[in-house]
Amino acid sequence: MAARFDDISLTVVMPTFNEAGNIAPLITATLQEIRAHFTCRFLELLVVDDNSPDETWRVAASTGDAAVRVIRRMADHGLRKSIEQGVREARGDVVLWMDCDFSHPPRFIPQLVACVCVGFDITVNSRYVAGGEDVREGKGTWLQRILSWQLNHFTWLMLGQSFRDYTSGFIAARTAVIRELGLRGDYGEYFIDLIYRAVRAKQRVIELPYRNEPRAAGESKTGANIVDYARRGIKYLVILFKLRITGHI
């Protein structure tokens, strides 16, 4: 994206657990992308870590960039809860969060933030709109790709909306909008609920194509086998039926 945007107030939230092999280069790449495209009157990067045994929090704190702040969560762990705390403590007018294993490449951050800057309330990087791709590779990822697509396809049928990537998790938004909507749910299903309610509330939501790439280091938190995926999948299905029947979870 060639255009530059000035006077941006931005918080990036990175929820982490055992990402010591990824977090330092991810922080560097993320800040480089942001600074190359935006002139920020305020910029912070919050690493919200669930007291990782591999000391991700310590690695993040050692990066030395003044924009980085580390929150080490000693209790009440979980992906949604980490993101929620990051949003609660965000001081930027725009908040962005992403996976911290390089499957959400930092080069796709500028398009998210730029679209919020031009008037959208929520912008999501999507694998399932024209130009998007899921090219994750490695042990078990073929199953992840298939099940992810099937889950999203079923979600389209259940919720009857035009949105496509209900399990993206790569998002930027006006901070006030996310705080007003709130985050509900457990693991990835929080995102289905958030987007469903945002669209119903007539927030200005847009999906942008991106390339979902293999994780750089470490192991997936989603699961290691079909049993793990089934456990997660049941939670997603319960959320979908609740949203379809009652409109809330």
What integer best gives the mean pLDDT of the chain?
89
Strand ranges inside 59-174, DSSP E: 68-72, 94-97, 122-126, 133-134, 171-174
CA distance linking residue 148 with residue 229, whole number of Å: 10
CA distance linking residue 117 with residue 7, whole number of Å: 10
pLDDT digits (tens, 9 = 90+) for 62-114: 999 999 999 999 999 999 999 999 999 999 999 999 999 999 999 999 999 99
pTM score over 0.95 = no
State how many domains the chain has.
Answer: 1
Average pLDDT over residues 137-143: 61
The closest alpha carbon to 239, from 160, 158, 164, 171, belongs to 158
Please report the pLDDT score of residue 228 as a whole number: 60
What CATH number has the domain bearing residue 131? Answer: 3.90.550.10
CA distance linking residue 60 with residue 19, whole number of Å: 10
Q: Which residue carries 């922080």 as its tokens? A: 27
Within 10 A of 1 (CB to CB), how many other CB atoms are there?
15
Average pLDDT over residues 29-58: 97
Q: Tell me the percentage of the chain whose pLDDT exceeds 70.
A: 88
Distance of CA 78 to the CA centre of its chain: 14
Task: Return phi, psi of residue 38, to 5°.
Answer: -130, 145
Task: Name the strand (E) or helix (H) holding 110.
Answer: helix 109-117
On the 0-12 / 13-18 / 19+ scale of CB atoms within 10 A, 211 is middle
Please report the pLDDT score of residue 1 as a whole number: 42
In this structure, which amino acid lies at residue 242?
A: K
The parent domain of residue 223 ranges over 5-246
